[in-house]
Structure 1
Amino acid sequence: MLFLKKEDIEKCFDMRAAMDASLEALKIYSEGRATIPLRTNIPVPKAEGQSLYMPGYVECDSGKDALGVKIVSVYPKNIEKNIPSVPATMVVLDAETGIVNAMLDGTYLTQLRTGAVQGAATELLARKDATIGALIGTGGQAESQLWAMLTARDLTEVRIFDIDFDRASAFAKEMAEKFKVTMIPTQTAQECVEGADIITSVTTSKRPTFSSEWVKKGAHINGVGAYTHDMCEIPREIIKESDLVIFDTMDGVLQEAGDFMQPLEDGYLSEDKYAGELGELGLGKLQGREHDEDITIFKTVGSAVLDVYVAQKMVEQAKENNIGLTV
């Protein structure tokens, strides 16, 4: 069995590889060649925790088929013990034999593939001449979201906003040193969003994190953070005004993302406003951006198809480069 820590994955799998793998996974999903059951959630009342299991099987055109399960725990009290409150482990199986052949750092896998799917969408939908980015939220997902934006487009400036300005400033300073790109912490979301070519919101906010009036013509917007019915990052007005709305998976977003479910439920929007899936766009079944002035939106809530397929590619790369611990 192969064990891959975060440091092992970093040696053999970068954002570019993760973006390519994520798009391929969603293309396979949109073609109906992946089996992704609903995740199983087991409450653990004594520890006030939850144990979640996200399994999947993906048919692959090249290389081996992908089979696996991501195990995610949600244990808020872990913070008191100074250990992660949402630890995750990815278990990879050999699809030909059903034997477990690898285990990966599921926390880093989740961060990387969530950034990567946004990057893949940004690459397909944002204007080619985009130079200014806006990032709202500086939590655990922020760095990979920023990395993906910078991989998708040659940005010269990224504005950073967080409800805690000191946190935004510290994050901006750290990221400027890491990526060698101008990072500007902003006092308000308006300063962050106005004039930006690419806007990425990654928060758990229950109300929109910016106003539709601040969005320039031609902007591309990514909604990454909201994943429950009561969370709502993207303002409904910009969804209505936009020229194209694409999801990672239609069933996932319409079951989990409040900012896109609520406008349907109260009749503000009809479902035909939502064009389809990123995989369909990658397959050429949907038309992407048609004009420079178009406003495009991508929403992701994540799917086990991303975990299973990306993990399989990570394992293949690690074996090819003799990276990781084999037991």
Structure 2
Amino acid sequence: MNHHNTVSIIQHDHIAQAGITAAECMTWVEESFKIKYESQLPPKISLHPQGDDFFNTMPALLPPRYGRFGVKVVHRIEGQVPSLGADILLYDSATGRLLAVVDGDWITTMRTGAVAALATRLLQRTGVHTYSMMGLGNTARATALCLLADHADEPVTLRLLRYKDQAQSFIERLSSVGTRNVQFEVVDEINDLVAGADVLISCITSAKGLICDHDELFRPGMLLLPVHTRGFQNCDLFFDKVFADDTGHVSGFKYFTQFKRYDELSRVLLGENPGRESDDERILGYNIGLGLHDVLFASKIYDRVKDCEHFVQRKETAKFWI
């Protein structure tokens, strides 16, 4: 005897056409941080088939009221186009039924950008409207869209580090969304970008050594967000506070035991940590990425996207079938 289970196949274009705004992404990552300690979130499993290539498996069980479990598999394979990709399986946690296979690329990028923008809201010093950015790929674009959504009624300036034609392409993309509250500046040298930054968001994916080893250029009150953690290890030693999305992500860092003050970002959102206490504090944020964000996003998208493809699982229900 067979039981038929209909599984949704939610592709990238289904998600892109679902009308999900950057402001909604901000709301979703805030929600996921607030339920972190009610969720089951084991450490990701990382396997390496060759060289620097990897498969990371990231499971997360949402609180019972959500009734959802999911697992994201993200991979990087050098030489493939694109080299980075992700897929998510979403389940009904009460029945074990597979609900959907969800493309994970849009989700990964937008939740990463939304987390960075949320961290700026929580941790930047007062009166900041200028954001310095480097590594101007998809993650930086997502971050900028979320920043602009979060400052919809305020003027914002984005200072961009010039690299090849990235800055011009970035400006054209941000200008195309019809946002009128943004101005752009392009900076040629990394030291100038750092020295002029109240908030510095780095989305570079690789770095050989330190990005800027002149500690004196990191001004008091600065918020530094190395989205992919690369290139700012010197700041671990002299920044006043460090916040991360999960302690397990940073506990293996070389200087973890030398952080001056440390806590998780969720504690700030829950009111259990004051976050920034002075406009002179230098604060460092390491938000490496939680499967919790991915599964919550996938759950929200599954509930919204109805016009998608499906396949039918035929599951054997007889007690004995061997």
Query: Taking structure 1 as the reference length, what is the TM-score of the superposition?
Result: 0.81
The structural deviation recorded for 1:42 is: 4.7
Distance 1:41 1:175, change over 3 A: same
Give the AA of the match of 1:66.
R
The structural deviation recorded for 1:16 is: 1.9
Distance 1:173 1:307, change over 3 A: same
Q: Structure 2 residue aligned with 1:245, among 231, 242, 245?
A: 242
- Please say if 1:174 is aligned against 2:180: no
Structure 1 counterpart of 2:75: 73
Structure 2 counterpart of 1:223: 226
Structure 2 counterpart of 1:254: 251
Distance 1:297 1:155, change over 3 A: farther
Larger radius of gyration: 2
CA distance in 2, matches of 1:293, 1:323: 51
Percent of aligned pairs with the same amino acid: 23
Q: Structure 2 residue aligned with 1:270, among 245, 258, 261?
A: 258
CA distance in 1, matches of 2:240, 2:197: 17
Q: Which has a greater percent of helix?
A: 1
CA contact (8 A) 1:76 1:85 kept: yes
Deviates more, 1:174-183 or 1:200-209: 174-183
CA distance in 2, matches of 1:98, 1:169: 48
Give the AA of the match of 2:14.
D
Written as runs of structure 1 = structure 2, the 5 A alignment for 1:277-296 is 277-296=264-283
CA distance in 2, matches of 1:20, 1:172: 25
Give the AA of the match of 1:244.
K
Unpaired runs of at least 5, structure 1: 227-231, 256-260
Structure 1 counterpart of 2:26: 19
The CA deviation string for residues 100-156 of structure 1, in whole angstroms up to 9 with x for no partner, is: 112222011110111111122111111342111100112332211222333344452
CA contact (8 A) 1:118 1:145 kept: yes
What secondary structure, in the 3-state scheme, does the structure 2 residue paired with 1:213 have?
A: helix
CA distance in 2, matches of 1:168, 1:5: 29
Structure 1 counterpart of 2:136: 138
The structural deviation recorded for 1:66 is: 2.8
Structure 2 counterpart of 1:258: none
What secondary structure, in the 3-state scheme, does the structure 2 residue paired with 1:157 have?
A: strand
Give the AA of the match of 1:252.
H
CA contact (8 A) 1:109 1:311 kept: yes
Query: Taking structure 2 as the reference length, what is the TM-score of the superposition?
Result: 0.82
Distance 1:120 1:49, change over 3 A: closer
The structural deviation recorded for 1:49 is: 5.8
CA RMSD of aligned residues (A): 2.6
Deviates more, 1:101-110 or 1:305-314: 305-314
